[in-house]
């Protein structure tokens, strides 16, 4: 992992979420809550999981060193895996945009030296963990892509065509 790659992935994350959120913004409550056979059974549930995971990963990074983005007021909140981070599509999109801006800010602040360091944190079970920071960031961006794919499939299942997840559009 290096700074150039993190900047690319943060930009991809932000721009892809904007495109995805254009599709989500037109959902009525029935479509937002529609049940699907996946582990996360609705578009809302996937968005909630992804938001909570991203929120906690960004918050955990302050354990590596002091980052300016870590001072954002959003991190005064605490979210567990069972939290309901939002109710409506509008609320989700507003909160998602804040996180995406923080990922972009993080990409501007990290250094190549950071990627060689280990991050100590507690997982959602409260267990102490220590992992390479660069590898953790790669995991976070991969996790985002995985769940956007799930959202894309759910959108297609309710008749909303989409093609928002193409990294090639950034080259």
What confidence tens digit (pLDDT) does each residue in 108-122 have?
A: 999 999 999 999 999
Residues whose CB is less than 8 angstroms from the CB of residue 146 and which lie 6 or more positions away in sequence, other chains included: none
Which tens digit of pLDDT belongs to each residue from 34-85? 999 999 999 999 999 999 999 999 999 988 999 999 999 999 999 999 999 9
**Residue-level pLDDT at 168:** 77
Percent of the chain with pLDDT over 90: 92
Q: What angle do CA 21, 27, 30 make, to 5 degrees?
A: 140
- Residue 90 banded pLDDT, cuts 50, 70, 90: very high
Output the average pLDDT for the chain.
Answer: 94
> Domain residues of the chain, as ranges?
3-170
- Entry pTM: 0.93
Q: Which H/E stretch holds residue 36? A: none
Closest residue by Cα to residue 58 from 46, 71, 45: 71
Cβ density class 82-105: b for 16+ within 10 Å, e for less: eeebbeebeebbebbeebbebbeb
Q: With beta carbons less than 8 A apart as the criterion, state whether 147 and 3 touch.
A: no
3-170 adopts what CATH topology?
A: 1.20.120
């Amino acid at each position: 992992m290096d700074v150039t790659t993190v900047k690319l992935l943060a930009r991809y994350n932000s721009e892809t979420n904007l495109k995805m959120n254009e599709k989500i913004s037109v959902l009525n409550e029935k479509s937002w809550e529609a049940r699907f056979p996946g582990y996360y059974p609705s578009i809302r549930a996937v968005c909630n999981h992804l938001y909570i995971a991203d929120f906690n990963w960004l918050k955990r990074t302050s354990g590596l060193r002091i980052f300016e983005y870590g001072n954002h007021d959003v991190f005064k909140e605490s979210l567990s895996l069972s939290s309901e981070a939002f109710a409506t599509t509008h609320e989700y999109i507003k909160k998602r945009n804040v996180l995406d801006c923080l990922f972009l800010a993080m990409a501007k602040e990290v250094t190549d030296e950071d990627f060689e360091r280990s991050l100590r944190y507690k997982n959602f079970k409260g267990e102490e963990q220590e992992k390479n920071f660069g590898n953790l960031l790669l995991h976070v961006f991969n996790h985002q892509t995985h769940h956007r794919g799930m959202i894309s499939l759910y959108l297609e299942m309710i008749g909303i065509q989409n093609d928002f997840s193409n990294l090639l559009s950034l080259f």
